[in-house]
Structure 1
Amino acid sequence: MRVVSWNIHWGCGKDGRIRIHAIIDVLRKLNPDIICLQEVAANHAELEGNANANQFRQLAGAFGGYQPVLEPTSEIYQNNMPRQFGNLLLSKFRINQVHRYLLPWPPDPHSPAGMPRGLIEAVIEAPGGKVRVLTTHLEYYSPVQRMAQVRHIKYLHWEACERARIFQPDPTLESPYQLGFRPGSAIYCGDFNFVPDTPEYKELIAPDEGVALPLVDAWRFKHPHVARAPTAGLHGFKWPERADCFDYFFVTEDLVGRVAECEVQSETAASDHQPIVLDIN
């Protein structure tokens, strides 16, 4: 199973022009089974390059054999038209549950900028068994908000692991309650907006008493003695000031032995971030 995570910067390349077809071409060449995208836009004409098109619809249409899950965490109305910005998950494998979470957004007087942030969870019928695939894009400007979001993700992970341990599907219940089995096993990916070894990074992977399945940084597991591959700051973009890692795959401990590869695709300049790829046996 191949999963690709990519902050696509609403398809805006280093020349300031939007080319969603370039994003689609890169994704097709990578041939993923599951696609997790951040910074997808619709009706945002004021964004660089004019992101007025509905990119959620464009991307879902380009991958017609995939089941789409949309999560525009920011939805602002202008002239009765929703301007949307957020995450998109596309799966070639069957999805049997979807959960969407709005992450905490505590007031931070030191950082008035920001936007709502969310987390998509899809329970996927993968070849090796059911797995939860989750994608997110955490706060950039406020460390206070970002840490609150990391801690909430950890709570949600604990909750899922405990529910998997305690509850089994009950076909006698009415249909809205027949969710089927939801495993603790999970893949978390996205643009976390922290660099390695920051407090937020350490908090996410720190073991917690009572959590059955700790999270492991898949890239660090596969490349323990190699300098971290940057996921942003390449190809002459204005941001960030230097190349660094902002995008990750974290997998539950039970999946670590199945991680075949985790790598950064550094060649493309279709976004200010690079796509990252996780291969699971």
Structure 2
Amino acid sequence: MRILSWNIQWGRGLDGRVDLARIAEEARNFDADVYCFQEVAVNHPGLAGMPPGQSDQLAVLSGLFLGFEAIYGVGSDLPDGLGGRRHFGNLILSRLPILQVFRHLLPWPAEPSVPSMQRAAVEAVIAAPEFPGGAVRVITTHLEYYSASQRAVQCAALRAIIDEGWRHAVSPRFAEETDPPFAVLPRGEGCVLCGDFNSPAGAPEQATLTAPGDAPALVNAWHVAQDAVPPAPTFGVHERRYVDAPACYDIFFVSANIADRISRVAVDEGSKASDHQPVLLELS
């Protein structure tokens, strides 16, 4: 199973041009089974570089990945002033069957001294009979940039989401209700959490994610695959607008019960199609 995580900055490359076809072309070079994109915009014509006719990025990307099911999780949901909504969130595209979908709003404590927005995580339960519990939970997210304290509570919430999913996997619900909404499907005992954590790998606020919980602990997949090699940078590689030096902001965490299946983690440091670099995880 190959999973790609990429903050695509609504398709805006370092040349200032929004080009979703370029994003799709570079992403398809990885031949991933599952794509996790962050910063996907719908009805945001005012974003820098947004060309006319591409404001529904969910529809455009879905059309560029034929044969993939698209699951969109909205964080920022605002009025457009014309009776419609402006959305900003995370997108999962999967060519493997998706059994269940969960959209999680993350905590957003008031902090008036810094800019911030509502953040979310989207979870797709991917059918995978060869994995524990018959499925794998793939969760992608994009945490707050401006506030370490907000990131800390968001990481704690993600840990709780992962623990709850694992409890559902090992203790399936009562199954005698026959109405379709009560269907009991595999939840998967293993979990992959990826996305833009908006702080370098190993930052203090991420400690909650790798701490013991009900579910098997999470491990940084890079450290499993690359041992003592420092994580490759994924942000600030070609542009120093927000950071003084390149750092690894885009991370794959994998639950310890499937960590032995990690065969490869790779960063494409050459791409300039976004201000972040795409990251690939391979599970055997």
Task: Give the one of 235, 246, 249 matched to 1:246.
Answer: 249
Map 1:165-180 → 2, pairs under 5 A = 165-168=170-173, 170=175, 172-180=177-185
Partner residue of 2:26?
26
TM-score, scaled relative to structure 1 = 0.94
Quick one: distance in 1 between partners of 2:100 and 2:167? Answer: 17
Q: What per-residue deviation string (whole Å, max 9, x for no partner) do you get for residues 241-271 of structure 1?
A: 3200111101111111111101111111000
Cα pair 1:14 1:237 within 8 Å, conserved? no
TM-score, scaled relative to structure 2 = 0.93
Aligned residue for 2:26, secondary structure, equals: helix
Cα pair 2:99 2:186 within 8 Å, conserved? no
Task: Give the one of 117, 120, 124 matched to 1:118.
Answer: 120
Matched, 1:201 2:225: no
Q: What per-residue deviation string (whole Å, max 9, x for no partner) do you get for residues 193-226 of structure 1?
A: 1212221122211223xx2311110011111211
The one-letter amino acid of 1:74's match is S
Matched, 1:267 2:270: yes
C-alpha deviation, 1:171, in angstroms: 5.5
The one-letter amino acid of 1:142's match is S
Quick one: distance in 2 between partners of 1:11 and 1:237? Answer: 19
Aligned residue for 1:150, secondary structure, equals: helix
- In structure 2, relative to structure 1, the CA distance for the partners of 1:84 and 1:237 (3 Å cut) is farther
Aligned residue for 2:116, secondary structure, equals: coil
Partner residue of 1:155?
160
The one-letter amino acid of 2:161's match is L
Identity of aligned residues (%): 39
Quick one: distance in 2 between partners of 1:257 and 1:95? Answer: 23
Cα pair 1:237 1:272 within 8 Å, conserved? no
Partner residue of 1:280?
283
The one-letter amino acid of 2:13's match is G
Task: Give the one of 100, 110, 128 matched to 2:130.
Answer: 128
Tell me whether 147-156 or 43-52 shows the greater mean CA deviation. Answer: 43-52
Matched, 1:164 2:169: yes
C-alpha deviation, 1:109, in angstroms: 3.4
Cα pair 2:162 2:215 within 8 Å, conserved? no
Aligned residues: 278
Quick one: distance in 1 between partners of 2:270 and 2:184? Answer: 41
Partner residue of 1:50?
50
Q: Which runs of 5+ in 1 are unaligned?
A: none
Partner residue of 1:60?
62
Cα pair 1:121 1:135 within 8 Å, conserved? yes
Quick one: distance in 2 between partners of 1:213 and 1:248? Answer: 18
- In structure 2, relative to structure 1, the CA distance for the partners of 1:169 and 1:263 (3 Å cut) is farther
Cα pair 1:195 1:201 within 8 Å, conserved? no
Map 1:99-110 → 2, pairs under 5 A = 99-110=102-113
Cα pair 2:2 2:34 within 8 Å, conserved? yes
C-alpha deviation, 1:47, in angstroms: 1.3
Partner residue of 1:190?
195
Cα pair 1:157 1:184 within 8 Å, conserved? no
Aligned residue for 1:144, secondary structure, equals: helix
Partner residue of 2:99?
96
Partner residue of 2:78?
76
Over aligned residue pairs, what C-alpha RMSD do you find?
Answer: 1.5
Aligned residue for 1:30, secondary structure, equals: coil
- In structure 2, relative to structure 1, the CA distance for the partners of 1:171 and 1:66 (3 Å cut) is farther
C-alpha deviation, 1:81, in angstroms: 2.8
The one-letter amino acid of 2:149's match is V
Map 1:3-14 → 2, pairs under 5 A = 3-14=3-14
The one-letter amino acid of 1:133's match is V
The one-letter amino acid of 1:39's match is E
